[in-house]
Amino acid sequence: MMNMDSIFQEVKAASRDLALLDNEKINEVLLAVADVAIQQAPYILKENAKDLAKMDASDPMYDRLKLTQTRLEDITQGIRNVAKLPSPLGRVLKDVVRPNGIHLRRISVPFGVIGVIYEARPNVSFDVFSLCIKSGNACVLKGGSNADASNRAIVEIIHQALESQGVNPHVVELLPPGHESAAALLHATGYVDLIIPRGSNNLIQFARHNATVPVIETGAGICHTYFDEFGDLAKGRAIINNAKTRRVTVCNALDCVIVHQSRLKELPEIVSLLESSNVVIYADKAAYKALEGKYPAHLLEHAITESFGTEFLDYKMAIKTVDSFEEALNHIRANGSKHSESIITENEERAQRFLREVDAACVYVNVSTAFTDGGQFGLGAEIGISTQKLHARGPMGLEEITTYKWLIEGNGQIRKT
């Protein structure tokens, strides 16, 4: 077994050096990484080709894995954009002088070392590195075996840039692919301060059940859009189409339309735009009846139990009919994953109740759930979308990968009671 402790120790030590760099220096490093990545594009693409050669081009992963000159340019533009963002460090979150004269400040600081476990997308290596270094965090990357040659080339390039900048290269390290590395990372208590798993539900559940280091779960989104009794037809139709078909493989994509029974007669119109994307609809009895003969028969199926509470990640969608607003809330509660939920309504009271009573990271009124995204929220960048409630909820940008410490300055104060 490889001794990964020595890697963790080096990264931990490097995180302390990193904490001493100012934002200006960090930005220079980011720009240097972007420059070297472009200079070394032929090398990165050559290594990427080795990974691609092992995969069938018809595999849906092939496209995610593939790098091109254009994609590399987009990626390095992303790195340059991160350099332009304000530093998330040193924000004064509280500042108070207590009656006894002690000066108390709560200040944002890096976590230290962040571990990220991901699958086949090599661009994640650049993204995670740039967000981590910008927030003063060292990082340990554990990529998928399919992308290993690409990831190794990328980290090699980053190391070159770091060395040219006189920065400890161990601020980023790549672990070998495989379960053994993942297990070591999940148990690297004392070295790694936070783990973010990105990828399939299996990966995330593996992390959740095995980690002793704190984990932020990302991922699974079972998203609903409720077309209320008071919903506007034009808005609802466009929102449902956008949330379902903009990109079907993302976690904020729509999985289930809930429709108030009073609007069943308009259901064919509500879902009419989905036909052109060949969206298969799994309709409950009432919805099926409403759609029969009005939505293409080869795209219309009867819903089964598994049609609800399922993240399709495909051109597929369920429809649930409800008799009341409360029944819609109950359906979301029972089937949602607390990610993104939307209501289509012109009734202000309904809107406010929905915002208040739905327990999800992002609750929408008359807006497509496609907006659950760090960039769309104005966070500037995103390292993942948290599906838990601890620390960060929804899109996580730079601020969300910092913690804080309390600084207390005084003049000899002791506690009397």
Say if residue 343 is exposed, middle or buried (CB neighbours under 10 Å; 0-12, 13-18, 19+). Answer: buried
Span from 37-45, 94-102, 171-179, 283-291 in contact with a copy of itself (CB under 8 A): 94-102
Determine how many CB atoms are found less than 10 A away from the CB of residue 84: 9
Establish if 24 lies at the interface with a copy of itself (CB under 8 A): no
Name the residue nearer to a copy of itself (CB basis): 71 or 235.
235
Q: Which of 102, 163, 289, 292 binds a copy of itself (CB under 8 A)?
A: 102
Establish if 355 lies at the interface with a copy of itself (CB under 8 A): yes
Least CB distance to a copy of itself at residue 251 (A): 14
Distances (CA, A) of 361 to 190, 221, 230, 393: 30, 10, 24, 5
Q: Which of 2, 16, 54, 74 binds a copy of itself (CB under 8 A)?
A: 16
Tell which positions 199-218 bind a copy of itself, by CB under 8 A: 208-209, 212, 214-216
DSSP 191-229: T--EEEE-S-HHHHHHHHHH-SS-B--B----EEEEE-T
Q: Which of 29, 79, 171, 370 binds a copy of itself (CB under 8 A)?
A: 370
Q: Which of 222, 223, 239, 319 binds a copy of itself (CB under 8 A)?
A: 239
Say if residue 352 is exposed, middle or buried (CB neighbours under 10 Å; 0-12, 13-18, 19+). Answer: exposed
User: In the stretch 103-142, what mask flags binding to a copy of itself with x, by CB under 8 A?
Assistant: -x----x-xx------------------------------
- DSSP character at residue 86: P
Least CB distance to a copy of itself at residue 255 (A): 17
Residue found by looking up tokens 């913690």 in the block: 403
Establish if 220 lies at the interface with a copy of itself (CB under 8 A): no
Angle between helices 41-53 and 69-84 (to 10 degrees): 120
Establish if 92 lies at the interface with a copy of itself (CB under 8 A): no
DSSP 287-302: HHHHHBTTB-GGGEEE
Residue found by looking up tokens 């795209």 in the block: 299
Phi-psi region of 136 (alpha: psi -120 to 50; beta: other; left: phi over 0): left
CA distance 179 to 254: 32
Establish if 305 lies at the interface with a copy of itself (CB under 8 A): no
Establish if 194 lies at the interface with a copy of itself (CB under 8 A): yes
Establish if 193 lies at the interface with a copy of itself (CB under 8 A): yes
Name the residue nearer to a copy of itself (CB basis): 323 or 409.
409
- Tokens coding 186: 């999940």
Q: Which residues bind a copy of itself (CB under 8 A)?
A: 16, 19-20, 96, 98, 102, 104, 109, 111-112, 193-194, 208-209, 212, 214-216, 232, 234-235, 238-239, 241-243, 246, 351, 355-357, 359-368, 370-371, 376-378, 388-391, 393-394, 403-415
